[in-house]
Structure 1
Amino acid sequence: MRSSIHSRRQGLAAVFATGLAALLCLATPARAADYASVNAAVAEGHILPAYDALAEAGTALAAVTDSYCAADAPLADARQALAAFRRSWAGAEHLRFGPAELGMRSLRINFWPQARGKVADALSSALAKAEEAGGGMDVARQSFAVQGVPALDALFNGDDSAAPGTPRCDLAQAIAGNVARMTSAIRDEWTGGNTPYLAAFTTPGTGALPFEDHADATLALFKSLHDELSRILALKIEPALGKTPADARPSHVEGVAPEAALDTIRTNLAALEALYQGPDGTGLAALAGQSVTDTALAPLMEKAFSKTRATADSIALPLADAVTDAEERKKVAHLATQLRALRQIVGTRLAEALGLSVGFNSLDGD
């Protein structure tokens, strides 16, 4: 009798467990296998190509800087190499995890906007230290403001451009070499060595690796998307735009070259859409498309990206000029509005569809 009751209880427990598992599968927006698939696809099709391009641009920047400072290439070539590097950086700067953050590399490569107003003093200090040491410039041990893009921007695009055969050009070579080493290290640490970061990202949950499970790795991708939208708004658009035309601050745009600020934002947005879509729709978009409770999400995300990027492309003046121009300012303000809307969709509906939660970000605003 007791055996019969026990058997029935076991049977009911098995049925209950099976039913509960089925309900959990229905309720969970993305299962572990789905997260794993997205992580692998985005790593191979988006992250690694972005860092390959960045390392190549860093190497090219160093080579062209050497040629310019040896008087074997014109200043225009150095400026073009810097613009190409900035574009490659804009295609990868949203990836705020992994080797790019080791040793604060991302800040050292592009210490902006923190470097605003500090670059000139940092350059003077670096030159003075080199003179005291009798030559040689180890910028990697100096202020972040003199280690990367903002410093090179001042040396190549500023009022006092570095001339071949001068200490300022020697400093430009040291900075470009520093950038090349950091970007090559980021790329190599993703795929090389005894513990490549790629393995930690795509096969999480083993030992002291940085991700507990596949969902945790997907969360890093989600935060890269959400947080970069916040950075574009809070750092690259709103300070220059101001609340009214009288509050506009053109000097707060990113970059010295007139075209740099908008070019960077456009590239940022293209990179974020590429992260979301993944190769052939295998990125976060694949998880959004699986949502049975929010079937409108996937087409809404596509529409939001399309319209936001179209607005950015429609701005006809450099950003520093656009924020003070009556007509173009409207486009910049509209872009800010669209970015807020896109961020809101990502932080609520996409997060829910993915089964993830975005934490507090001080850049989110109201």
Structure 2
Amino acid sequence: MPFTAQAQASIEDILRDHIMLRFETLAATSEALAQTASDDCEPGSEALKSVYADAFDAWVSASHLRFGPTEVEDRAFALAFWPDSRGATPRALATLLAEEDPIANAPDSYRDVSIAARGFYALEFLLYDETLTNAGNPAYHCTLIQTVTSDIASTSTSILKDWQNGYADQMLNPGPDAPYRTDEEVVQEMLKALSTGLQFTSDTRLGRPLGTFDRPRPARAEAYRSGRSASHVLLSLEALRDLAARLATGNADLAETLDAQFADAEEKLTALNDPVFASVADPQSRLKVEVVQQAVDKIRETVTQELGPTLGVAAGFNALDGD
């Protein structure tokens, strides 16, 4: 099958069953989160934490799709401001709570606050951080939770609508006046999403808590307050495994190799039985986390050296590569 025909079939498959499905799930779970918070905004609410987990899961499963609608108005950062190396999120939330800033009473205006006070990581502080869950006026704290969840739902819905109302069609119909001129450019964008997703999981989700041998940083693990660090790695690997399989569909041997490598990384991660990567502080145990990181790097190497050439495209540079 010629490249164009194969590319079009792959693009349609990925758009329908990988991209759109994930953003539909994100919009639905985020709306359920906002609805639950409107009825029950207590930080200790198990119902609220449950729908929060569902919506956060949906975001992590879509978080590698950092192009098009997720990048408009910094929507991805509005949903997920992390890593936060300067501690901007707890500071911004503490200021809002201390001053009872009226902006929290206006969900439509909340997008004007510091981006650090928006999204899933801000909500994690409001639900799980011992200092912030007890800070400020309980009524204002409740309002802030409701507004943050409403903002998450609004942002997620906007992303989905943009995909439904034009962006998916633009990827299906590249041309000289479209964001993508050829099918090759569309496939390259998808390959870059796969490669960058693997890089972020290795360098950031695993690399930050690993730190160095002499200075491990378990408190830098992603979403450790809610015990989600390892599950985020697993969710990411599962989503990237699906994307890799769809991109490699024209090469059965390569598809099998990638599937086996993803399975190996997921099995090594599960065997850790370490939800927040606390074991990085122990010299013996940290080696097992490093082995997981090496398994992820091996997948990325296969993607770069074998999948890219098979597709006839290169992943290219991304924001994680620096200057």
Give the residue type in structure 1 aligned to 2:153: A
Structure 1 residues 156-214: Cα deviation after superposition (integer angstroms, max 9, x where no partner): 0110326995212211111110000010111122113xxx211001111153x211111
Query: 1:64 deviation in Å?
Result: 1.4
The aligned counterpart of 1:102 is 72
Alpha-carbon separation, structure 2, partners of 1:274 and 1:135: 40
Distance 1:134 1:91, change over 3 A: closer
Distance 1:133 1:39, change over 3 A: closer
TM-score (norm 2): 0.91
Query: 1:74 deviation in Å?
Result: 5.6
Gapped runs of 5+ residues in structure 2? none
Give the residue type in structure 1 aligned to 2:272: I
Report if the CA contact (8 A) 1:157-1:256 is conserved: no
Report if the CA contact (8 A) 1:126-1:139 is conserved: no
Report if the CA contact (8 A) 1:351-1:357 is conserved: yes
Matched, 1:337 2:308: no
Alpha-carbon separation, structure 1, partners of 2:104 and 2:222: 34
The aligned counterpart of 1:21 is none
Query: 1:134 deviation in Å?
Result: 10
The aligned counterpart of 2:91 is 121
Alpha-carbon separation, structure 1, partners of 2:146 and 2:101: 16
Query: 1:327 deviation in Å?
Result: 5.0
- Give the one of 275, 278, 281 matched to 1:324: 281
Distance 1:239 1:135, change over 3 A: closer
Give the residue type in structure 1 aligned to 2:70: A
Alpha-carbon separation, structure 2, partners of 1:302 and 1:132: 51
- Give the one of 238, 241, 249 matched to 1:286: 249
Alpha-carbon separation, structure 2, partners of 1:115 and 1:247: 16
Report if the CA contact (8 A) 2:82-2:121 is conserved: yes
Query: 1:274 deviation in Å?
Result: 0.9
Query: 1:248 deviation in Å?
Result: 0.8
Distance 1:224 1:167, change over 3 A: same
- Give the one of 204, 216, 234 matched to 1:248: 216
The aligned counterpart of 2:14 is 42
Alpha-carbon separation, structure 2, partners of 1:182 and 1:362: 22
For the residue of structure 2 that corresponds to 1:153, the secondary structure is helix
The aligned counterpart of 2:243 is 275
The aligned counterpart of 2:196 is 227
The aligned counterpart of 1:175 is 148
Report if the CA contact (8 A) 1:86-1:264 is conserved: no
The aligned counterpart of 1:154 is 125
Gapped runs of 5+ residues in structure 1? 1-24, 278-282, 290-295
- Give the one of 82, 86, 90 matched to 2:52: 82
Give the residue type in structure 2 aligned to 1:50: R
For the residue of structure 2 that corresponds to 1:287, the secondary structure is coil
Distance 1:232 1:273, change over 3 A: same
Please say which of residues 125-134 and 158-167 is displaced more in the overlay.
125-134
The aligned counterpart of 1:59 is 31
The aligned counterpart of 1:265 is 233
- Share of identical aligned residues, percent? 25
Give the residue type in structure 2 aligned to 1:42: I
Alpha-carbon separation, structure 1, partners of 2:221 and 2:6: 40
Distance 1:257 1:120, change over 3 A: closer
The aligned counterpart of 2:303 is 346
Distance 1:131 1:336, change over 3 A: closer
- Give the one of 271, 290, 305 matched to 1:314: 271
Alpha-carbon separation, structure 1, partners of 2:9 and 2:102: 55
Give the residue type in structure 2 aligned to 1:227: T
